[in-house]
Amino acid sequence: GESVGLHLPTLSVQEGDNSIINCAYSNSASDYFIWYKQESGKGPQFIIDIRSNMDKRQGQRVTVLLNKTVKHLSLQIAATQPGDSAVYFCAERRGYKLSFGAGTTVTVRA
């Protein structure tokens, strides 16, 4: 069965605002949780990951939060730009295998 899922299939955000994309998971045995971004015609592109023993990790304009108590993962994008429009997937990794959620389509409004 599926172990990773996203709360909302679509998200519309005003350019310059912050975006928050959510994901719920059910498998507590995963090593890592990862966010990928997929633009039209391309494959998933790694954004950021977080080990299962951490609760927050920051990158450039992105922050991933992991709440193991409620099995929730989120991706925060600061100052959303038009180039951030894409489908975002959360995924969990156990060993070498990735399990993906269904994806959230983010549309940035000018």
Partner 1 sequence: EAGVTQFPSHSVIEKGQTVTLRCDPISGHDNLYWYRRVMGKEIKFLLHFVKESKQDESGMPNNRFLAERTGGTYSTLKVQPAELEDSGVYFCASSQDGLKGETQYFGPGTRLLVL
The site for partner 1 (CB under 8 A) is made up of 2, 4, 31-32, 34, 36, 41-46, 49, 51, 89, 91, 93, 95-103
Q: How far is the CB of 43 from partner 1 (least distance, A)?
A: 4
Q: How far is the CB of 44 from partner 1 (least distance, A)?
A: 5
| Residue number with CB closer to partner 1 (14 or 107) | 107
Find out whether 21 and 5 touch, Cβ atoms under 8 Å: no
Listed residue (4, 13, 11) closest to 72, CA to CA: 4
| Residue number with CB closer to partner 1 (41 or 110) | 41
Number of C-beta neighbours around residue 81 at 10 A = 12
Structure tokens of 82? 């038009």
